[in-house]
Amino acid sequence: MEKSVFLFPGQGSQYVGMGKSLFDAYDFVRDRFHEASRLLDMNFQDLCFHGPEDRLTQTRNVQAAITLINVACYETLAREGIRPAAAAGHSLGEYTALYATGALDFEDALLLVKTRGEYMQEWGEEIENAGLLSILGKTKIQGIDQVCQKANVHVAVYNNDYQIVLGGYEENLKHAKQMVEEMGFKGVPLKVSGPFHTYLMKPAADRMHTYLGDVDITISARPVIANTSTRAIVDPMDIKNELTDQIFKPVLWKDCVEKMIESGVRFFVEIGPGKVLNGLIGKVDPNVKVLNVEDRQTLERTMQDLIHLSSGAKA
């Protein structure tokens, strides 16, 4: 089989009803739901399948919920013996990437994302009047450095040349929005509880760093491409540093994808709710194939595609 990477989405990929078709079809998925509900004292069936949306999207709820669905989707492939050459996750998705590569067990991954979500939401509420602004362009976005300098905002996520997320105080983001729209781009405020992936989140990152000190992380069996450094990491210390840094440093998703393609990756499998990462990668390199698994239908289709790709590689 051609060289592949499993990708796991993060916050923003959620939707009410996610995971239900897999829950209905597989005992091991139901077991994961029950285990997660017990560990975190939350009813994940109710949260994921019924919401409502405003409850599901709360940072302290949604991070654990997405991680659970990511794991459930991943295990439908893992039980078929399908393993990637490497893994990557978009922000929150890094935790599932670390689970999939053996660095974290299920319990630690869930407890970590629950703690992360609480720290991020609490500090975001403490800051007040700060958030994120998505910049969208039909053409490549240019001049973002000048916008950041003049408006006193910071790049939080660099998804590709057509979508960049800025973070900072709301008044500064309003100035940035006006500037980018005068440049011909679109500015969309995001419904999040804080200026994630910017220096304003450093206190939350410091708390996470302390918490990670007592967590048992093992050497990853396969590399995980880190959001903030784009390095392929396997060492527990590097992993702990990355999980701290990604709270207050920018997610360099475009650079991560380009590095993986340069290393010989020819197709990706997005594993988890939605197809957000499919769209982002298509704007980085439209020639790379991206599959996805989020329910029974996409699982069956992706399994067939993987069989076809495997047969092509052997021919």
Name all domains of the chain by residue range, CATH numbers in brackets.
4-125+199-314 (3.40.366.10), 126-189 (3.30.70.250)
Residue 209 annotated in active site? no
Q: Which two tokens stand for residue 207?
A: 């708390």
Q: What gap in Å lies between CA 295 and CA 293, rounded to an integer?
A: 6
User: Would you mind telling me the total number of residues written for the chain in this entry?
Assistant: 315
Global pTM? Answer: 0.95
| CA proximity to 239, closest of 118, 103, 116, 120 | 103
Identify the burial level of 216 via C-beta atoms within 10 angstroms of its C-beta, where 0-12 means exposed, 13-18 middle and 19 or more buried: exposed
The secondary structure of residue 168, as a DSSP letter, is E
Sheet of 154-160: strand order equals 154-160, 163-169, 130-136, 186-189
Q: Which two tokens stand for residue 158?
A: 């660099």
Q: What gap in Å lies between CA 180 and CA 144, rounded to an integer?
A: 8
Q: Which two tokens stand for residue 180?
A: 């980018």
Helix (H) or strand (E) holding 207: helix 202-212
pLDDT of residue 315: 39
Q: 3-class SS at 254?
A: helix
pLDDT of residue 192: 87
**54: Cβ–Cβ under 8 A, 6 or more apart, which residues?**
none
pLDDT of residue 177: 98
pLDDT of residue 155: 98
pLDDT of residue 2: 52
Q: 3-class SS at 49?
A: helix
From the list 13, 90, 154, 197, the catalytic residue is 197
Q: What gap in Å lies between CA 252 and CA 280, rounded to an integer?
A: 12
From the list 91, 134, 193, 220, the catalytic residue is 91
Residue 197 annotated in active site? yes
Helix (H) or strand (E) holding 142: none
Burial pattern 40-63, b for ≥16 Cβ within 10 A else e, equals bebebbebbbebeeeebbebbbbb
pLDDT average per 10 residues of sequence, the chain (315 residues): 83 96 97 98 97 92 96 95 92 97 96 95 92 97 97 98 97 98 97 93 97 95 97 98 98 97 92 95 92 96 84 51
Q: What gap in Å lies between CA 84 and CA 284, rounded to an integer?
A: 21
Q: What gap in Å lies between CA 91 and CA 109, rounded to an integer?
A: 14
Q: Residue 160 in contact with residue 153, Cβ under 8 Å?
A: no
